[in-house]
């Protein structure tokens, strides 16, 4: 079923951008019924083709079927449905609070689309990090160009083909491309650019946005630490952490990146992880349908090199297969701050454990590095949890759970500083693509009250 991945020609990109600008200017995307219809079509695009998407996710990422459904397809459908049920309310203009001086002017905030917006998506969750964002942009009345990752060619091709079939191509288009095509797209002025991916490219996107004065939101990554308290529910912590790291082979922006644990509790925690590992993978983790694969040979080499060069002790996994880009869930203990595993976001299924002598040492380490996308803590002690949350900064702060918070409806999803700027999912996504246009309609009689503003500026007027 997988059609060949053909990049969108550069002159076609120019044509598409101009077409969308013209259609947006015509006002076609603004009426609520139009938006609703496109959102319904977006839902059908996904629902009618679940099996095809499962297949492309398997082709691109070796995705087990359960992960395809649980982490990409189903949460995308849920987001569209929730947007459908609420966007009309979000789109309603709001009155400004009452003020004796200004209320007669009937001041309101109009919720207006920003124009033609650009969504640049990464490879790791090709649907969940694309489709809910499309839903937000459409719900807000924009024209939208989506540039999914070239590293998931099967899913990107399917998305592009289905978008043509299900959606209004005069306002919603998918561009298939890599660096050259994205660079071309970034030459244009956009109502908004939303980029999800690594921070290095994020800087290029922000610089390109600055050149055209296009507003930019960045959804980036980082090393999300996990604090393990000796007063945690050990079995639960081990299970949730191992799952959060192994899911999608660790290629999750909010994956627990490394563990900070008190030195004298490390071995007990390792035993709990080993027990969970045995429970999760009664056969091999490499058995069909159990583990996603690394997305590319380059990604495999990078993560495999980290594994080869660590000075820590491998206590779980460590098994790899270059031919299938497989790396098994791996836990490495006694990892020092200067170890290669601590040098960059791992973005693979390796979980280093860095023992510390005190919680303060752990906090000092985290705070000496970039603000991560998430901070995790496993503890049954409220004071311990509060200490971690109150003394760190991150996009999100989660206790006793891993990686599922981006799908929790009503919570904004976004980073802070080096892990990103801007928020999406639900109303936050709608707001990202919405311009709050202040508006009023001032009656002539108001000059009976405000006529003093006009020149000449006399002393009598100042005294009044």
121 binds ligand NAD (CB under 6 A): yes
Among residues 67, 79, 112, 219, the one annotated as catalytic is 219
219 is an active site residue: yes
Rounded to whole angstroms, what are the CA distances from 355 to 180, 268, 352, 454?
A: 44, 12, 10, 71
One character per residue 357-396, x = contact with ligand NAD (rule: CB under 6 A): ----------------x-----------------------
Query: What distance in Å separates the CA atoms of residue 329 and residue 321, rounded to the nearest whole number?
Result: 13
Query: What distance in Å separates the CA atoms of residue 191 and residue 143, rounded to the nearest whole number?
Result: 9
CB of 241 to ligand NAD, least distance (A): 17
Query: What distance in Å separates the CA atoms of residue 57 and residue 126, rounded to the nearest whole number?
Result: 8
The span of 40-48, 116-124, 328-336, 438-446 binding ligand NAD (CB under 6 A) equals 116-124
233 binds ligand NAD (CB under 6 A): no
79 or 112, CB closer to ligand NAD?
79
The span of 162-170, 218-226, 272-280, 447-455 binding ligand NAD (CB under 6 A) equals 218-226
CB of 415 to ligand NAD, least distance (A): 6
196 binds ligand NAD (CB under 6 A): yes
CB of 13 to ligand NAD, least distance (A): 13
Relative to beta strand 313-316, strand 330-333 is antiparallel
CB of 374 to ligand NAD, least distance (A): 10
CB of 280 to ligand NAD, least distance (A): 23
For 130-157, letters b (16+ CB in 10 Å) and e give bbbbbbbbbbbbbbbbbbbbbbbbbbbb
Q: Residue 458's CB: how many other CB atoms inside 10 A?
A: 10
Restricting to residues 138-167, which ones interact with ligand NAD according to CB under 6 A?
147, 149-151
201 binds ligand NAD (CB under 6 A): yes
Residue 254 half-sphere exposure toward CB, CA atoms < 13 A: 25
78 binds ligand NAD (CB under 6 A): no
The correct pick among 49, 124, 130, 394 for binding ligand NAD (CB under 6 A) is 124
Rounded to whole angstroms, what are the CA distances from 160 to 23, 45, 174, 382?
A: 19, 11, 5, 48
Kindly state the tokens that stand for 135. 């839903």
253 binds ligand NAD (CB under 6 A): yes
Kindly state the tokens that stand for 328. 């098994």
CB of 455 to ligand NAD, least distance (A): 53
Asked if 397 contacts 375 with a C-beta cutoff of 8 angstroms, the reply is: yes
The span of 36-44, 197-205, 263-271, 364-372 binding ligand NAD (CB under 6 A) equals 197-205
Sign of CA dihedral 347, 351, 353, 359: positive
The correct pick among 93, 95, 99, 183 for binding ligand NAD (CB under 6 A) is 183
Relative to beta strand 108-113, strand 434-439 is antiparallel
Asked if 161 contacts 3 with a C-beta cutoff of 8 angstroms, the reply is: yes
72 binds ligand NAD (CB under 6 A): no
- Tell me the three state secondary structure of residue 277: helix
Catalytic residues: 219
Query: By the criterion CB under 6 A, which residues form the site for ligand NAD?
Result: 120-124, 129, 147, 149-151, 178-179, 182-183, 196-198, 201, 204, 219-221, 253, 345, 347, 373, 415, 420
């Amino acid at each position: 079923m997988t059609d060949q991945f053909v990049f969108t020609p550069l002159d076609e990109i120019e044509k598409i951008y101009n077409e969308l600008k013209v259609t947006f200017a015509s006002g076609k995307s603004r009426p609520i019924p139009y938006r609703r219809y496109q959102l319904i079509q977006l839902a059908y695009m996904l629902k009618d083709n679940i099996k095809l998407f499962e297949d492309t996710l398997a082709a691109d990422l070796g995705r087990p079927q359960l992960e395809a459904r649980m982490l990409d397809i189903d949460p995308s459908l849920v987001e569209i449905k929730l947007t459908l049920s609420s966007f009309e309310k979000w789109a309603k203009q709001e009155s400004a609070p009452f003020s004796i001086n200004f209320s007669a002017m009937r001041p309101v905030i109009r919720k207006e689309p920003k124009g033609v917006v650009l969504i640049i998506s990464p490879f790791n969750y090709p649907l969940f990090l694309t489709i809910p964002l499309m839903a937000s942009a459409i719900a807000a009345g924009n024209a939208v160009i989506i540039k999914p990752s070239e590293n998931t060619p099967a899913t990107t091709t399917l998305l592009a083909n289905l978008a043509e079939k299900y959606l209004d191509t005069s306002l919603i288009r998918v561009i298939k491309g890599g660096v050259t095509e994205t660079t071309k797209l970034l030459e244009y002025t956009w109502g908004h650019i939303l980029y999800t991916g690594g921070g290095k490219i994020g800087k290029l996107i922000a610089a390109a946005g600055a050149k055209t004065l296009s507003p930019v939101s960045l959804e980036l990554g980082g090393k999300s630490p996990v604090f393990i308290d000796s007063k945690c529910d050990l079995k639960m912590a081990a299970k949730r952490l191992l799952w959060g790291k192994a899911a999608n082979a660790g290629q999750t922006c909010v994956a627990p990146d490394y563990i900070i644990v008190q030195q004298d509790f490390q071995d007990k925690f390792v035993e709990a992880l080993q027990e969970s590992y045995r429970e999760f993978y009664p056969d091999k983790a490499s058995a069909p349908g159990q583990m996603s694969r690394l997305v590319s040979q380059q990604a495999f080499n990078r993560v495999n090199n980290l594994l080869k060069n660590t000075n820590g002790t491998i206590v779980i996994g460590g098994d790899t297969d270059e031919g299938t880009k497989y790396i098994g869930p791996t836990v490495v203990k006694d990892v020092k701050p200067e170890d290669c595993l601590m040098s960059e976001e791992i973005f693979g299924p390796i979980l280093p454990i860095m023992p510390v002598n005190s919680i303060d040492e752990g906090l000092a380490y985290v705070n000496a590095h970039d603000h991560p996308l998430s901070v995790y803590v496993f503890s049954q002690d409220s004071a311990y949890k509060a200490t971690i949350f109150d003394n760190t900064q991150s996009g999100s702060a989660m206790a006793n759970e891993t990686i599922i918070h981006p799908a929790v409806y009503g919570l904004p999803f976004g980073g802070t500083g080096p892990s990103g700027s801007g928020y999406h999912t639900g109303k936050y996504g709608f707001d990202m693509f919405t311009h709050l246009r202040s508006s009023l309609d001032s009656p002539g009689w108001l000059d009976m009250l405000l006529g003093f503003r006009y020149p000449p500026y006399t002393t009598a007027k100042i005294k009044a």
